[in-house]
């Protein structure tokens, strides 16, 4: 085998390695201001904040829209339970819809600018982000409330113990509410004082994203921080509009770097930032679709949804991340050396 043939083979192998190390990000155009969404019976339901509507996505296509009541406040986040959609507004009401029609409206005191909402067991929980309570609802009405640390703005549900965890702005304590007793039964101290978003990682971890530009992984049994992922400029931007979610297809968590940025971080539970995926402007909500293993990122600033296969499933999908930068530099250097070596060998043969 001559050197030119060897060079060609090495270049081919290198190109295959590069293509296998990248993640492809696709885009869906949406109505104005996509903020947050939820997976619901085979569909992705998103809030198009600027358009005052919900958009339903199936097979990566918008198939339906549901108008929302116009209010001085903006629709913000959505939860799904037993065929009902619960939409919480910023500094506004909680609206409950069934079959595209509003059936109930509730005014929550001190709901604030950063309320969180999620389905937890047989309830839908909503935080009063300018108050000190978490409110619980079912499709038939309000069940009650539980007092927690002031300014609660992040929720996570542990379905193993039927506990909902509540993180707050300005406090380094996470409250655990037993949904069996509707009482705070656990308090976990963290290193930061501003919790922006949380998610539960089975079987016993909380992933807590903080304004300190860190994600703390906490063992809920011991109450101890077991790993930490840290971000530094220019890859910072965790704040109140960020969202973190668990990807069961690969065991990672995914975090939108929402503030003046266009990144989603893919993080392992040992605190390693595996990838930084480039998406649209100001990514807010993140939804995982268990049917197709796609991750959907709602880009508030570019009126779009970025979507890509779960990183450990796909063999060719993310745009360049910091983890791959060194790899690309090494590959380029190898290619240059091989080309130069081939040219030198060719000239010597002449």
Could you tell me if 238 and 258 are in contact, meaning their C-beta atoms sit under 8 angstroms apart? Answer: yes
- Same domain for 231 and 156: yes
105 Cα distance to chain centroid: 27
- Same domain for 328 and 298: no
Two tokens, residue 137: 């609802």
For 205-235, the pLDDT digits (tens) are 999 999 999 999 999 999 999 999 999 888 8
Output the tens digit of pLDDT for each of the chain's 350 residues: 555 555 445 444 444 333 334 689 999 999 999 999 999 999 999 999 999 999 999 999 999 999 999 999 999 999 999 999 999 999 999 999 999 999 999 999 999 999 999 999 999 999 999 999 999 999 999 999 999 999 999 999 999 999 999 999 999 999 999 999 999 999 999 999 899 999 999 999 999 999 999 999 999 999 999 999 999 888 888 988 999 999 999 999 999 998 878 999 999 999 999 999 999 999 999 999 999 999 999 999 999 999 999 987 654 334 434 443 444 444 444 555 555 455 445 455 55
* pLDDT reported for residue 230: 95
Number of domain units in the chain: 2
Q: What is the pTM of this model?
A: 0.84
CATH code for the domain of 296: 2.130.10.10
Neighbouring-strand partners of residue 265: 255, 276
* pLDDT reported for residue 338: 53
Mean per-residue pLDDT of the chain: 88
- Same domain for 18 and 127: no
Could you tell me if 225 and 208 are in contact, meaning their C-beta atoms sit under 8 angstroms apart? Answer: no
- Same domain for 277 and 211: yes
Pairing of strands 141-147, 74-81: unpaired
Q: Give the structural domain span for 326.
A: 1-22+320-350
Q: In whole angstroms, what is the distance from residue 93 CA to residue 80 CA?
A: 16
- Same domain for 296 and 174: yes
* pLDDT reported for residue 4: 52
């Amino acid at each position: 085998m001559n050197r030119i043939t060897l060079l060609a083979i090495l270049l081919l192998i290198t190109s295959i390695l590069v293509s296998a190390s990248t993640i492809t990000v696709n885009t869906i155009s949406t109505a104005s201001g996509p903020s947050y969404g939820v997976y619901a019976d085979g569909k992705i339901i998103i809030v198009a904040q600027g358009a005052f509507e919900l958009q339903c996505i199936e097979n990566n296509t918008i198939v339906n829209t549901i108008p929302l009541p116009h209010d001085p406040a903006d629709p913000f986040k959505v939860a799904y339970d037993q065929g009902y959609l619960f939409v919480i507004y910023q500094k506004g009401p909680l609206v409950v819809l069934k079959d595209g029609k509003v059936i109930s409206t509730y005014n929550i005191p001190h709901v604030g600018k950063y309320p969180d909402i999620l389905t937890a067991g047989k309830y839908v929980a909503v935080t009063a982000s300018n108050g000190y309570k978490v409110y619980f609802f079912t499709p038939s009405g309000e069940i009650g409330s539980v007092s927690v640390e002031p300014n609660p703005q992040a929720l996570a549900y542990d379905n193993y113990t039927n506990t909902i965890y509540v993180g707050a702005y300005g406090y380094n304590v996470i409250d655990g509410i037993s949904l069996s007793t509707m009482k705070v039964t656990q308090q976990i101290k963290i290193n930061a004082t501003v919790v922006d978003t949380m998610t539960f990682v089975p079987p016993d971890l909380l992933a807590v994203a903080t304004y300190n530009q860190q994600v703390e992984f906490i063992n809920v049994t011991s109450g101890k921080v077991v790993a930490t992922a840290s971000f530094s400029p220019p890859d910072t931007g965790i704040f109140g509009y960020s969202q973190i979610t668990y990807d069961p297809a690969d065991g990672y968590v995914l975090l939108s770097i929402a503030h003046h940025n266009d990144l989603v971080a893919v993080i392992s539970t040992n605190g390693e930032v595996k990838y930084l995926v480039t998406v649209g402007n100001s990514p807010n909500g993140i939804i995982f679709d268990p049917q197709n293993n796609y991750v959907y990122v709602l880009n508030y600033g570019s009126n779009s949804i970025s979507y890509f296969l779960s990183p450990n499933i796909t063999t060719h999908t993310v745009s360049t991340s910091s983890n791959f930068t060194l790899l690309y530099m090494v590959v380029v250097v190898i290619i240059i050396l091989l080309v130069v070596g081939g040219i030198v060998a060719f000239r010597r043969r002449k």
